[in-house]
Structure 1
Amino acid sequence: MSAQVIGFSLLVLGAFLIIGNLIRMKVTILQSLFLPSSIIGGFTALLLGPQVLGAGLTPLVGENSFWSTGILTKEIVTVWSSLPGLMINVIFASLFLGKTTPTLKKIWNNGGPQLAFGWTIGWGQYVVGLLIALLILVPVFDLPAMTGALIEIAFEGGHGTSAGMKSTFEELGFPEAYDLAIGLATVGVLSGVIFGIILINWAVRTNKTNTSQGKVGYSRLQKLGIKEFENREPAGNITLRQEAIETFSFHFAMVGIAILIGYGIQQGLIGIENITWGAWSGTYIMKYIPLFPLAMVGGILLQMVVDKVDRFQVIDRSLINRIQGFSLDILIVSALATISLAVIGEYFVPFLLLAAGGILWNIFCFMIFAKRMIPTYWFERGIGDFGQSMGITATGLLLMRIIDPENETPAFETFGYKQLVYEPFLGGGLVTALSVPLIHSLGAIPFLLFSVAMVILGMVTGLFYFGKSSKTQSSQGSYF
Structure 2
Amino acid sequence: MPQDVISSSLLNSFLFYISILGVLLFAGVLLRLKVGIFKKFFIPASLIAGFLGIIIGPYGFKMLSEPMVSTWGSLAGILITIVFAPMLIGMNKETSKEAAKHAVPQVLYSYLGSSLQIGVPLLVTGLILIPIWEVDELFGSIIEIGWAGGHGTAGGMQGVFESLNWAEGTSLSLTSATVGLLFGIIGGMIIINIGVKKGYTSVIKSTSQLQSQQEDIPQEKTASSYNTINEDVVESFGFHLALIFIAVLIGWGLQQLIIPYVAGVPLFPLAMLGGLVVNISLSKTRFYRLIDKQTLNRIQGLALEFLIVGAVASIKIPVVVEYAIPLLIVSLFSLLTILWYFHFIGPKMFKKDWFEHSIVNYGTATGVTAVGLMLLRTVDPNMKTEAASAYAIRAPFYSPFLGGGLITSIVPVLIINYGTTLVGIAFLIISFLILAAAKLLGYFHCDADKKQNYEGQQNISQSKL
Which one of 241, 249, 254 corresponds to residue 252 of structure 1? 241
Equivalent pair of 1:96/1:299 in contact (CA under 8 Å)? yes
Which one of 156, 160, 163 corresponds to residue 168 of structure 1? 160
Structure 1 residue 98, shift from structure 2 partner: 2.4
Equivalent pair of 1:113/1:375 in contact (CA under 8 Å)? no
Structure 1 residue 236, shift from structure 2 partner: 0.8
For 2:271, what is the secondary structure of its paired residue?
A: helix
1:320 corresponds to: 296
Q: How many aligned residue pairs are there? A: 442
Which one of 75, 94, 97 corresponds to residue 83 of structure 1? 75
Superposed counterparts of 1:144-183, under 5 Å: 144-183=136-175
1:270 correspondence with 2:259? yes
For 2:212, what is the secondary structure of its paired residue?
A: coil
Structure 1 residue 51, shift from structure 2 partner: 0.7
Superposed counterparts of 1:456-475, under 5 Å: 456-464=432-440, 465-468=442-445
Deviation string for 1:17-56 (max 9, x for gaps)? Answer: 11011111221111111111000011011101111112xx
1:227 corresponds to: 218
- What is the rounded CA distance, in whole Å, between the counterparts of 2:200 and 2:93 in structure 1? 32
Equivalent pair of 1:374/1:462 in contact (CA under 8 Å)? no
2:198 corresponds to: 206
1:110 correspondence with 2:87? no
For 1:167, what is the secondary structure of its paired residue?
A: helix
Structure 1 stretches lacking a partner, 5+ long: 55-69, 274-285
2:11 corresponds to: 3
Which one of 405, 408, 413 corresponds to residue 429 of structure 1? 405
- What is the rounded CA distance, in whole Å, between the counterparts of 1:328 and 1:208 in structure 2? 34
Structure 1 residue 431, shift from structure 2 partner: 1.2
Structure 1 residue 81, shift from structure 2 partner: 2.0
Deviation string for 1:346-392 (max 9, x for gaps)? Answer: 11101111211221111111000001001222111111111111012
Moved more, 443-452 or 157-166: 443-452
Residue identity opposite 1:216 in structure 2: L
1:17 corresponds to: 25
1:419 corresponds to: 395
Equivalent pair of 1:376/1:470 in contact (CA under 8 Å)? no
Equivalent pair of 2:112/2:434 in contact (CA under 8 Å)? yes
Superposed counterparts of 1:14-93, under 5 Å: 14-54=22-62, 70=63, 72-93=64-85
Structure 2 stretches lacking a partner, 5+ long: 1-8, 457-465
Equivalent pair of 1:258/1:295 in contact (CA under 8 Å)? yes
TM-score w.r.t. the length of structure 2 is 0.90
Deviation string for 1:67-109 (max 9, x for gaps)? Answer: xxx2x13342232122111100011112222232346653443
Structure 1 residue 396, shift from structure 2 partner: 1.2
Moved more, 357-366 or 181-190: 357-366
1:349 correspondence with 2:325? yes
What CA RMSD, in Å, does the superposition of the two structures yield over aligned residues?
Answer: 2.1
Moved more, 172-181 or 397-406: 397-406
TM-score w.r.t. the length of structure 1 is 0.87
Structure 1 residue 13, shift from structure 2 partner: 0.7
For 2:228, what is the secondary structure of its paired residue?
A: coil
Structure 1 residue 311, shift from structure 2 partner: 5.7
Which one of 171, 179, 188 corresponds to residue 187 of structure 1? 179
- What is the rounded CA distance, in whole Å, between the counterparts of 2:345 and 2:27 in structure 1? 41
2:4 corresponds to: none
- What is the rounded CA distance, in whole Å, between the counterparts of 1:131 and 1:265 in structure 2? 32
1:367 corresponds to: 343
Equivalent pair of 1:121/1:362 in contact (CA under 8 Å)? yes
For 1:226, what is the secondary structure of its paired residue?
A: coil
Moved more, 239-248 or 312-321: 312-321
1:278 corresponds to: none
Equivalent pair of 1:17/1:38 in contact (CA under 8 Å)? yes
1:446 correspondence with 2:422? yes
Residues 104, 87 of structure 1: CA spacing in aligned structure 2 closer, same or farther, 3 A cutoff?
closer
1:310 corresponds to: 286
Superposed counterparts of 1:323-334, under 5 Å: 323-334=299-310
Structure 1 residue 211, shift from structure 2 partner: 2.4
- What is the rounded CA distance, in whole Å, between the counterparts of 1:355 and 1:449 in structure 2? 18
For 1:438, what is the secondary structure of its paired residue?
A: helix
Which one of 277, 285, 301 corresponds to residue 301 of structure 1? 277
Residue identity opposite 2:119 in structure 1: V
Deviation string for 1:264-318 (max 9, x for gaps)? Answer: 11112235x3xxxxxxxxxxxx220111111111112222222221366111111
Equivalent pair of 1:89/1:295 in contact (CA under 8 Å)? yes
For 1:50, what is the secondary structure of its paired residue?
A: coil
Residue identity opposite 2:201 in structure 1: T
Residues 432, 202 of structure 1: CA spacing in aligned structure 2 closer, same or farther, 3 A cutoff?
same
Q: Determine what percentage of the aligned residue pairs are the same residue.
A: 33
